[in-house]
Homo-oligomer: A and B are copies of this chain.
Amino acid sequence: MTNTAPSGELHAIIMAGGSGTRFWPASRAARPKHFLPLADGTSLLQAAVDRVAPVVGAARTWLITNPVLARSLDSVLPDFPAAQVLVEPEPRDTAPCAALATALVEARHPGAVLAFLPADHVIAPQERFAALLQRAHALAAESGAVVMLGVRPTHPATDYGYIERGAPIDGAQPPAYRVPRFREKPDRATAAEFLRQGTFLWNSGVFLWTTETLLAAMAASHPALHASTRAMLAAAREGDRARLDRAFAGAPKTSIDYAVMEKAPRVVVVEADLAWNDLGSFAALHAVAPPDAHGNVVSLHGGARALLEDARDCTVYGEGPRAVVVFGARDLFVVAVGDAVLVCPKDRADGLKALVRRLPEAGLGDLL
């Protein structure tokens, strides 16, 4: 296989749905992680849009999100064209969402190559990312494979999915490999072994396909999903939104990784030598606001102030006209945003997602 020019234009679809549990109380149902001001004051969503623009151009950048977030997009992305915002009628996990976006873009731009990108990840440097996306575009256009970006691991992470890299596709750069298998979040020992072997990459959540590739993969891996996707495509081509929504509502609720990637006959991974972080929790904030000499990470917005005295390895996130004073503490998260304050030792951050789920039964459901 040679690295020829792509046959289809590249379109970027930024997946900007999602709930706000991981960064609660900074993130809320109507204000997910990628809406938050981070570090330089812009949002992760804005950064995601800016990241793909040099490669695909503004006219071929799309968002897919839920109806609630679609209404408040203006607050974080005031210049984004409304016609390029795709709305997922209800949450049905990632497979129906990706199929819906594929149908909607394919109907308007037949034969396009679609790159799906999470809205809420930190990725650097920009130039290297652009080169990776171009390489993935070429592969997706010509190989008939689902193409993924796999990030070279820097530590034995247990909270990421891993992609094993197999035989190289060709000698071109950045390198790309066949994918013999996927491994979901491994235990610590397995993650360490993956790192030692050097043949496992983190699943970045970035993937590319053509409609043809997607349908072929689904036909092999998930016939019901295949049927739903074909119905969505037909409805989209006819511009029948009601029928499209019905087809979406009837699609199996499943993840794209489980339903497609892990079973597709042809999956290719481009090895990405990137600084990448999915900001899965406040623990990852150091990726956007580096720690000071005492290991403290402080992220303040909207007039917030903070004083950390004799504090070490604490992470403070504040928004709004208030001050957070942390004295004598070690390894704490302190988040003060709007009408909620959260205090949690860092080593308990794993439990926050479940805690936030329990807020309604504690009478605090209005804070979600």
Instruction: Please name all residues of chain B whose beta carbon is closer than 8 Å to the beta carbon of A1 when the two chains form the complex.
Output: none
With A359-B307, A362-B307 as known contacts, state yes or no: A323 contacts B344, CB within 8 Å: no
Can you list, as one digit per residue, whether each of A275-315 has a CB less than 8 Å from chain B (1) or not (0)?
Answer: 00000000000000000000000000000010101100000
| A171 sits at the interface (CB 8 A) | no
**Interface contact B348-A325, CB-CB below 8 Å:** no
Set B305, B325, B340: member contacting A355, Cβ < 8 A = B325
Q: Does A324 contact B (CB under 8 A)?
A: yes
Interface 9-mer from A58-66, A108-116, A232-240, A326-334: A326-334
Inter-chain contact A328/B340, CB cutoff 8 Å: no
Contact across chains for B358 and A309 when beta carbons are under 8 A apart: yes
Are B340 and A322 touching (Cβ within 8 A)? yes
A332 touches B343 (CB 8 A): yes
Q: Does A351 contact B (CB under 8 A)?
A: yes
Contact of A364 among B305, B342, B352, B367 (CB under 8 A): B305
**Contacts A332-B343, A336-B336 given; does A325 touch B25 at CB 8 Å:** yes
A68 interface residue (CB < 8 Å to B): no
Q: Is A339 an interface residue (CB 8 A)?
A: yes
Cβ of A351: which chain B residues have Cβ within 8 Å of it?
Answer: 310, 327-328
- Listed from nearest, the 3 A-B pairs whose CB atoms lie closest are A328-B348, A327-B344, A322-B339
Contact string against B for A residues 335-368, beta-carbon threshold 8 Å, 1 for contact and 0 otherwise: 0101111111101100110010011001110010
Shortest CB–CB separation between residue A169 and chain B, in angstroms?
46
- Output the residue of A327, A351, A352 with the most chain B CB within 10 A: A327
Chain B residues with Cβ below 8 Å from A352 are 327
A223 CB–B CB distance under 8 Å: no
Shortest A333–chain B CB gap in Å is: 9
Residues of B with C-beta under 8 A to A322: 338-341
> Whole-angstrom distance from the CB of A24 to the nearest CB of chain B?
9
Q: What is the copy number of this chain in the assembly?
A: 2
Instruction: State the interface size on chain A (CB cutoff 8 A).
Output: 36
In the complex the two chains form, what is the Cα distance from A335 to B349 in whole Å?
21
Most chain B Cβ neighbours within 10 Å, of A336, A341, A344, A348: A341
Partner of A329, one of B325, B336, B340, B345: B345
Q: How far is the CA of A326 from the CA of B25 in the complex (A)?
A: 12
Is A321 at the interface (CB under 8 A from chain B)?
Answer: yes
Q: How far is the CA of A328 from the CA of B324 in the complex (A)?
A: 20
Task: Find chain B residues with CB under 8 A from A336 CB.
Answer: 336, 341
Task: Jot down 29 A-B pairs with beta carbons below 8 A, ordered by A.
Answer: A25-B325, A305-B364, A307-B359, A307-B364, A309-B355, A309-B362, A310-B348, A310-B351, A322-B338, A322-B340, A323-B341, A323-B364, A324-B340, A324-B341, A325-B340, A325-B341, A325-B343, A325-B359, A326-B342, A327-B342, A327-B343, A327-B344, A327-B348, A327-B352, A327-B355, A328-B345, A329-B348, A341-B341, A343-B343
**Residue on B with the closest CB to A321?**
B339
Chain B residues with Cβ below 8 Å from A362 are: 307, 309
A262 → chain B closest CB, angstroms: 34
